[in-house]
Amino acid sequence: MTSSTNGFALITGASAGIGAIYADRLAGRGFDLILVARNQTRLNALAERLTKETGRSIETIAADLNDKAALAKIETLLREDPRITMLVNNAGVGSVASVLDGHVDSMESMINLNITALTRLTYAVAPAFVAKGSGTIINISSVVGIAVELLNGVYSASKSYVLSFGHALQRDLAGKGVRVQTVLPAATATEFWDVAGYAKQKEAASTMTADDLVDAALAGLDQGELVTIPTLHDGDDWTKWEADRRALAPRFANAKAAPRYTSNATPAQ
């Protein structure tokens, strides 16, 4: 194995799909890796292949991030291991079920993984990165964080959270040497769709491969993007949407309600 000047990237949900492609690409860029997922057998196979192909140091941790003890173990590692220079918060689960068809316990589990685990891992690593004045946090959101009506409402809301959280992180960590990128994939051909109950989406003409998604996301990181949407061909569309959103903020600062909410307002027909 060769020594790395890039340090270690810790990737959650690393055993398959987008996480496994991030592992492949980051190893190819000279990062050593800490791969986190539930399936130890898959992790071992990926680590063996990448070690053979790249010569990088690959460590694996089998952990279910919905388990508080397992999550706490990864938090401790992120706080205390100075080798870690990048966190890729990729672990997540989705659904296509409506509020009338989904089970609330499954929705709670989704919130715990997509929101709580991502938040706790970020809170663990951010102070460590700030202390040394460098580090990169990549959070995987989704275009349904904006196009919220497309899939399950809890899933969409969880990905809206990741996008909003990323904006706040970029504000809080600005000037402290820590890069924060939020990636918004659209439909991507991974096992996500099998778990979500809509496997046929993987064959759709509009579905991107995980390889193309990660390559585009890393290109966006190289270009200094704060938010990367690989399938959005006209980047000006995002720039305008984001500028319009931010322009609303000062318009909320009014002590009195808008005239349409007064007793003289015309009632809806």
> How far, in Å, are 12, 32, 36, 197, 237 from residue 58 at the CA level?
14, 6, 11, 32, 39
Six token digits for residue 126? 């951010």
Q: Where does residue 111 rank: exposed (0-12), middle (13-18), buried (19+ CB within 10 A)?
A: middle
Six token digits for residue 107? 């929705």
Q: E strand or H helix at 8, and its extent? A: strand 8-12
Q: Using CA atoms in the order 201, 207, 212, 216, what is the torsion angle rounded to 10 degrees?
A: -120
Check: CB of residue 228 under 8 Å from CB of residue 181: yes
HSE-up (13 A, CA, CB side) for residue 66: 13
> How far, in Å, are 106, 110, 252 from residue 232 at the CA level?
31, 26, 29
Is 22 annotated in the active site?
no
Per the DSSP assignment, residues forming a β-bridge with 58 are 33
* Cα gap 44→40, rounded to integer Å: 6
* Cα gap 171→231, rounded to integer Å: 25
Of 22, 123, 155, 198, the catalytic one is 155
* Cα gap 256→262, rounded to integer Å: 10
Six token digits for residue 127? 């102070």
Residues marked as catalytic: 155
